[in-house]
Each structure stands twice: as structure tokens, then as C-alpha cells.
Amino acid sequence: MRVPEVRLVGPGGEQVGIVRVQDALRLARESDLDLVEVAPNAKPPVAKLMDFGKYKYEAAVKARESRKNQANTVLKEVRFRLKIDTHDYDTKVGHAKRFLSAGDKVKAMIQFRGREQQRPEMGVRLLQRLADDVAEVGAVETTPRVDGRNMVMVIGPLKNKAEARAEARKQQQREKSKAENERKQRVDTSSAESVTQSIGDAFPEELRRAASAPAEKPAAEKPAAEKPAAAKPAARKPAAPSAKPGAPKPGAPKPGGAKPGPAKK
């Protein structure tokens, strides 16, 4: 520095005031910092106490971040035929919406064949229909114009590419957080207890605990007297054979026989 004095700014942005260059250099050496001239055209020039190496590093990081966020707009081309089918037209419109949502411009081109060149108003109506269908994501920048055998119209996006990327990142974050919340709310049934349908589940806990406890053994009782064995019925003797009618009884005298006399002395 070839000036006698400078307006000194401290490392935290505080205003020190106008000091001599020798005093500013002495303060820089004492603080182990660098004296950097930040506004040489001011009167007196403005100098700041800072770590110059750290300042250069932070400036490089900021430049790199700005280049990363800077996106170049790309011109996408979508071609049509004058007699395009409805399904093909819807497919082309879907491509155009995707390009515009990503922040790119769309160049819509209609290719004329043979006598179709004599009907440019049909091409204008088709391009106007396209502009109405993509109005939610893009706006017409260049009106339809004839370019040789083609008709061209340029549609620009409503959001630039940086905004489109930022919105896409936010959408991804929202979807990720939504999926995370659904995962947390999902019930874990891996360790769930089996559910029974018995009526015992409706009983109070005390009754279920009492029922599951082992029953106490009753006091020892005296053995009951043994019952006498039932007497067996006596065996019957076979009945004597019945005498025939008219037959004498045993021991009876035979008829016509001698009567027993008196016993001899």
C-alpha cells in the first residue's frame, strides 16, 4: 500500500476508523492476520484484517456452487404431421410437457407434404392447439412462422431450469418423508402374540391367574372301611329224582308182605 492512511475494518466487520498504514500492519501482525485492501478507489482506501487464505477458499467454494446451480436451457424439438393421429398427438404433447417441466424450451415443427403447403392455416390451428394444451407449464415465445416447407413455433418454460431442479428436489424430499412416515406407522407384527378366540380371554386377570395356579392337595382322609364281600349263594344240591306214581316210598313195607313181628327176646 502506497497511501499514508486507510480506513480499517476489523476481522468481525467492526469499524476501527482511519489509521496509519504502519499501525494497520502492526495490528495485522499482532492478530496473526493479513491486511487486505478491499476498496482501493475509496478515499481513504478501505482495508480489512482477515485470513486471506481462508477468504480465497470460501470464494472458490461460492463460485463452484454458483456454477453448479447455473443450468443452460436446451432447445428440444417436437415434430408433427398435419394429419397426425389423436394418439400420436397426445404422445407428442406429453413429451413437450415433460421438456417444459424440466426447464427446457420446446421447438414445435410441422412438416408439410405436397399440397399441404397450400394450407398453412391448418398448421397454425394445430400449433395453437398445442400451445393451449401446454399452457400450464409453458408460454409461446415465437409465434408460428413458415420456414421453407416447415412451420415452426417456440414455447418457453414458465420456470427456469434451476427452479425446476429445486422443485424436483423438494418433491423427492416430500415423497421420501412420506414413505418414511408410512414405514414408521406400519405395525410390526413379527413378534405379536397369537390371538385366541376362547371365552377365557374375557375373564379378569385375577380369575385367569387363579385358574392357572396349581390346585392345593386336600387333607389326608381316613381310608374308607372295606365293604364286605357279597356272600355267594349256596350251591344247591341236585334234587332227588321224583318217585313214579304208585311206587312205594323208601322204607315203607311192601304190600302183601309179612308184618314185622315183635322183637324176639
Whether 37 contacts 46, CB under 8 Å: yes
Q: Hey, what's the cell of 214?
A: 396349581
User: What span, in angstroms and rounded, lies between the C-alpha atoms of 265 and 262?
Assistant: 9
Burial class of residue 90 (count of CB atoms within 10 Å of its CB; 0-12, 13-18, 19+): exposed
Q: Hey, what's the cell of 183?
A: 414405514
Type of residue numbered 183: R
Q: Supply φ then ψ for residue 256, to 5 degrees.
A: 80, 0
Strands 5-9 and 46-50: parallel
- What's the chain's average pLDDT? 77
Whether 104 contacts 125, CB under 8 Å: no
pLDDT reported for residue 130: 93
Type of residue numbered 59: A
For the chain, list residues with pLDDT below 70.
1, 68-73, 162, 186-204, 213-265
51-74: pLDDT as tens digits = 888 888 988 988 887 776 666 667
Helix (H) or strand (E) holding 76: strand 75-81
pLDDT reported for residue 265: 44
Give the global pTM. Answer: 0.42
Whether 39 contacts 45, CB under 8 Å: yes
pLDDT reported for residue 6: 87
pLDDT reported for residue 214: 62
pLDDT reported for residue 72: 66
240-262: pLDDT as tens digits = 555 555 555 555 555 555 555 55
Comparing CA positions, the residue from 150, 158, 113 lying closest to residue 131 is 158
User: What span, in angstroms and rounded, lies between the C-alpha atoms of 207 and 209?
Assistant: 5
